[in-house]
Amino acid sequence: MSAASAAEMGRGVDVASIERELAALWQPTGDAAEQQQPATRACMSNLLIYCETGAAANEVAGEIDPIVQQHPSRVLILVSEDSGGGREVDAFVSATCYAGEGGRRVCAEAVTIYAGAAPERRLPATARPLVIGDLPTALWWTSAQPAVLAGDLFRELASMSRQVILDSAAWPDPLLGLAAMARWSSSAAGESELSDLAWTRTHPWRSALGQSLAPQSVPGALGSIRRVDIEYGASGTSGALLVAGWIASRLGWEQLSARATRGRFEARYRGRGGEVSVAAKEIAAPTGLQSVTLAWDESDEPRTLALRRMQDDRLGVIRGAGAPHHVRPLGERGRAWLVARELADLGRDRVFHEALQASRRLVDGS
């Protein structure tokens, strides 16, 4: 079964009694208790979710179920807006339940906290005592404002968290945001691990590129790439930048020049086999990466490998011209699935950090 979201079922409570109210969620009461299976509380981590508005919180509340089913957590939704309840801080508690193994009812807790005034002080202060000790804490920053540009509120919440999850694809100015995020990441290394859902979405592309260019299959290709072309649709700028940064950093290219503007970026690198040019442009397409094409020479013969987004959530691998040589599932999922996937991975993604820094250099042109 899937329970209603926090927003739908949340019970308004006094902030000081949130923990007591959460405990009460697990006490069977009345006739319903006799009819229902006892619930098992599952909790692997604390998940702080920052939302700028109540509308954003309502949207997030609808994504809690799939997240906690994959990664049971105590969820604290922190909203920097008044709830309309007339108090400085308003809180609502709820449980979200699902059918676990053998039909057992497994539940996770959610608390939604609203603070319109001085949220940078009230939200962290309200959340701090609700964080369960001995469990990892993650911050999911849903705001369209790049987290690192949000000042004290982000710094306070990030300081409580082992992991910070954000989605640069949602930022109105991804060039500015990515560069700021890269600087923060390099300065805060070791304190909070950064995860960008835009990077996570590129995983199938990176996996397909890595496999398709395996030295055993295409000897010499990785060392003689001379051109990379990327096309992306709406919200695809940061994914394209990160893929470009990833290729450059993995292959050890040295940046010679770069220019990035809205809807287009270009760069020149010195690769091991000579100069490499990278060009990316936005095209009229609904979302994300659309194609990545690499060109190289093999015995003075030009060779290309293209990855192209196909219908029905598929990715075509095209060698040279013509029809896809190989088609594989793209496996794109909603952001709730991506968040749950990131929550499960507590390690530092060194490859991402290197790609991020290479992307920053591309944006900075230095």
Partner 1 sequence: MADVAPEQNPLTAGLGKTAIPDPCTLVIFGATGDLTRRKLLPALYNLALDGLLPASFAVVGFARRDWTDETLREVARDGSEKFSRRKPDPAHWADFESAVFYVNGSFEDREAYPLLQKRLEEVEAARGIPGNRIFYLSIPPSAIGTCVANLRAAGLVRRQEAGQPFSRIIIEKPIGHDLASAVQINDEVAQVFDENQVFRIDHYLGKETVQSILVNRFANSIFEPLWNQKYIDHVQITVSEEEGVGTRGGYYEEAGALRDMVQNHILQTLCLTAMEPPWSLGSEVVRDHKIAVLNCLRPIPAREVDKHVVRAQYGPGFHHGVEVPGYRREDKVRPDSTTETYVALRVFVDNWRWAGVPFYIRTGKRLPKRASEIAIQFKSVPPVMFNTDAEAPLEPNVLALRIQPDEGLSLRIATKLPGPSVRIYPVKMDFRYGSTFGDQSPEAYERLLLDVMAGDATLFMRRDAVEASWKWVSNILDAWHQSGARWLPEYPAGSWGPVEAERLIEKDGRWRIP
Restricted to residues 232-261, the positions that interact with partner 1 (CB under 8 A) are: 247, 250-252
Binding to partner 1 by residue 351, rule CB under 8 A? yes
- State in angstroms the smallest separation of the CB of 90 from partner 1: 31
**Which run of H or of E encompasses 203?**
helix 203-212
CA distance 50 to 57: 8
User: Quick one: which segment of 129-137, 151-159, 175-183, 202-210 binds partner 1 (CB under 8 A)?
Assistant: 202-210
Any contact of residue 69 with partner 1 (CB under 8 A)? yes
Window 88-117: residues binding partner 1 (CB under 8 A):
100-102, 104, 106
Distances (CA, A) of 254 to 11, 76, 246, 261: 56, 43, 13, 21
Residue of 164, 167, 171 whose CA lies nearest to 185: 164
Query: Is 42 one of the binding residues for partner 1 (CB under 8 A)?
Result: yes
- Rule CB under 8 A: say whether 334 interacts with partner 1: no
Residue 321, Cα to own-chain centre: how many angstroms? 34
Least Cβ distance, residue 354 to partner 1 (angstroms) = 9
The nearest distance, CB 214 to partner 1, in angstroms, is 5
User: Does the protein bind partner 1 through residue 10 (CB under 8 A)?
Assistant: no
For 228, the token pair is 């990379």
| Rounded (5°) CA angle 192-262-49 | 30
Contact with partner 1 (CB under 8 A) among 9, 25, 44, 279: 44
Measured at the CA of 48, the angle between CA 44 and CA 52, to 5 degrees, comes to 155
Written as six digits, the tokens of 219 are 């000897």
Q: For the chain, report the end-to-end CA distance as a whole number of angstroms.
A: 53
- Residue of 160, 223, 229, 337 interacting with partner 1 (CB under 8 A): 223
Nearest approach, Cβ of 319 to partner 1 (angstroms)? 7
Comparison of 65 and 282: residue with beta carbon closer to partner 1? 65
> 118-138 burial, b if ≥16 CB within 10 A, otherwise e?
ebbebbbebbeebeeeeeebb
Please give the Cα distance from 19 to 1 (Å, whole number).
25
**Inter-residue contact 228 to 268 (CB < 8 Å):** no
Q: Which stretch binds partner 1 (CB under 8 A): 6-14, 50-58, 111-119, 310-318?
A: 310-318
Residue type, 282: E
Q: Which is nearer to partner 1, 106 or 160 (CB)?
A: 106
Among residues 189 and 214, whose Cβ is nearest to partner 1? Answer: 214
Check residue 219 for interaction with partner 1 (CB under 8 A): yes
Segment contacting partner 1 (CB under 8 A): 22-30, 74-82, 226-234, 349-357? 349-357
Q: Give the binding site for partner 1 (CB under 8 A).
A: 40, 42, 44, 69-70, 72, 100-102, 104, 106, 203-204, 206-217, 219-220, 222-224, 247, 250-252, 272-273, 312-314, 317, 319, 325-329, 331, 349-352
